[in-house]
Structure 1
Amino acid sequence: MPYEVIIIGGSFAGLSAAMQLARARRRILVIDAGEPRNRFAKASHGFLGQDGAAPAQIMREGLRQLSAYPSVDFVHGHAVWASGEFDRFEVTLADGAAYAARRLVLAHGVADTLPEVPGLAERWGRTVVHCPFCHGYEFGDRPLGVLATGPLGAHQAEMLPDWGPTTLFTQGLFVPEPEVKGRLDRRGVTVETTPVAALLGDAPGLEAVRLADGRVLPLAALFTAPQTAPNGGFAEALGCAFEDGPTGAYIAADGRQETNVPGVFAAGDAARAMHNATLASASGVMAGVGAYQSLSLG
């Protein structure tokens, strides 16, 4: 007998979708590989009621709570393929197991492509981060940097002086337009055109960056915007439409998180241009409610 809903991804968005469906007494399956995007972060911040808690702790508690609902099943494994159509979807795992459902929720997150700078990857999620609201407070009043991956870096740099003195490293990718440069000047942002060549200090800590001309600039944290792409290729295989975001394409969804493919819903970072734990959870709630409405009301 097929499930009513399969949710691919068991992080903030997926578990939030599962909770709504569990409370609606729907028979659901959550498939998760245990590799959430936020696994590198020591703590989650700005998430009401969870501020300072480790992401893994939040997810463990979510799983504990969901386990109390008898209509919810969990599978730990890598989903590798999704196919089908309205009322007849199938998800295949790497071990060959296959599961059927009437509806799908894609909450599998995104993959980050980080800038290729020596010393950066091993600090990702700790002292190399993407969101000042999530991570800026802990570095308050210390020197901060923005490693640009494109013009979006100027927007990041405009925000950061509220947390600490800020340097924008353009990496030779762009020259700020006069209007943008004027805003950066008013915010006290230093624009550095010489590229960052390496990050220094005992990882995951950060003490400074070395520039291509040999100069060393002290930094407590480096903000950047990696390129992102939805994990797994499930949305493409199902025929879902995409929209272009500032860091990459994301799955297009309507107000109840349904994609252009009837019966397929998407939530979390894979279905949003802006990435944030609270927003991921909220979109998961809406996807769960949307899937319920689709099952009950058509």
Structure 2
Amino acid sequence: MMYDVAIVGGSYAGMAAGLQLAQTRRHIVVVDTDQPRNRFSARSRGFLTQDGKSPEDIVAAGYAELAQYPTVDWHKGEVETIVGEVGDFTLTLAEPRAAASSFRARRVILAAGVDDDLPALPGLKERWGTHVFHCPYCHGFDLNHGHIGVLAHSAAAMHLALMLPDWGKTTLFLNDAFAPDKWQLQKLDERGTHIEHGAVERLAGEGVKVVMADSRVFPLEGLFVVTQTIPSTLALRLGCEIETTPLGRVIKTSAAQATSVPGVFACGDIARPVGNLSLAVSDGALAGQAAHHSLVFDL
């Protein structure tokens, strides 16, 4: 079967794209690994009508809405390769399930999200998404204005260190990663951000405690860190132009979420340096409409 659009990634952006296309009664297939980026978090914040709900509940509600449309097929699996050109792409699964090993589609939407390259600090990976975060808009409110930390991995930590005092008493752990200049020190002081010098040795405790190399310990409600995003290798193999940002690599797209490869669109975290649920859904809706326009007008 030749699908009109194949969507790689069935989380928030992918489902939003699919919902737009479902309205057109075009035949689409969504291929998903069931590994959303925020799967470790208890709650998601800032998405209208879904504020404070768990990621799995929001994903389940989206899936239920898409499942109502007879022209939408859903397959669990990982797309390993995409070959072809606009009008005739072939997507092959890494581990074929049942009879489905590949799909053909006229257009492709990449919504597979990103991986986070985390600092190699003992105890950090185990607390990712539960006590260690990257987005204050997604997680800051639930810290109840408690003590918050920012772990410096580079000078990019300044951005979080200046923002986070709105969510709680903030400490910037320089971690021997960078030294703020005079202007930066002045801005940190104006925001009331405390500075701790010295290297961080590890994270410990049932919640999160920052343990310094000199044995000092700082209990926190939450710790924030700037990660580097890594996009799906599918985009690289397809030849999509990649943009390097201070927060990592993302697929470069047009205002209509089109990539540099004709017939291929991208949306969500894979195509923007700053991601959250609301922005992913917005990008996905735009990508779905743009893919439909491309089909109608043979773009």
Same-fold call, TM cutoff 0.5? yes
Q: Deviations over 1:143-181 (max 9, x none)?
A: 110012211101100011111111111221211122111
Determine if contact 2:22/2:66 at 8 Å carries over to the other structure. yes
Aligned to 2:226: 225
Aligned to 2:176: 172
Aligned residue among 155, 165, 168 for 1:151: 155
| 2: CA distance, partners of 1:257 / 1:214 | 49
How many residues are matched? 294
Aligned to 2:119: 115
Counterpart amino acid of residue 157 in structure 2 = G
Aligned ranges 1:53-202 → 2 under 5 Å: 53-96=53-96, 97-202=101-206
Structure 2 residue 216 is matched with structure 1 residue 212: no
Identity across aligned pairs (percent)? Answer: 47
Aligned to 1:2: 2
Determine if contact 2:240/2:252 at 8 Å carries over to the other structure. yes
| SS at structure 1 position matched to 2:47 | coil
Structure 1 residue 200 displacement after superposition: 2.0
Structure 1 residue 63 displacement after superposition: 0.8
Determine if contact 1:8/1:105 at 8 Å carries over to the other structure. yes
| 1: CA distance, partners of 2:115 / 2:87 | 29
Aligned Cα root-mean-square deviation (Å): 1.0
| 1: CA distance, partners of 2:166 / 2:36 | 29
In structure 1, list runs of 5 or more residues that go unmatched: none
Structure 2 residue 22 is matched with structure 1 residue 32: no
| 1: CA distance, partners of 2:79 / 2:147 | 42
| 2: CA distance, partners of 1:210 / 1:61 | 40
Q: Deviations over 1:109-155 (max 9, x none)?
A: 00011111111111111110111111111113311100122111011
Aligned to 2:251: 251
Aligned to 1:291: 291
- Structure 1 runs (4+) deviating above 4 angstroms are none
| 2: CA distance, partners of 1:106 / 1:149 | 29
Counterpart amino acid of residue 210 in structure 2 = V
In structure 2, list runs of 5 or more residues that go unmatched: none
| 2: CA distance, partners of 1:185 / 1:156 | 14
| SS at structure 1 position matched to 2:18 | helix
| 2: CA distance, partners of 1:91 / 1:195 | 46
| 2: CA distance, partners of 1:80 / 1:195 | 40
Counterpart amino acid of residue 21 in structure 1 = L
Counterpart amino acid of residue 93 in structure 1 = L
Determine if contact 1:84/1:238 at 8 Å carries over to the other structure. no
| 2: CA distance, partners of 1:217 / 1:60 | 38
Structure 2 residue 242 is matched with structure 1 residue 278: no
| SS at structure 2 position matched to 1:39 | coil
| 2: CA distance, partners of 1:149 / 1:290 | 38
Determine if contact 1:241/1:252 at 8 Å carries over to the other structure. yes
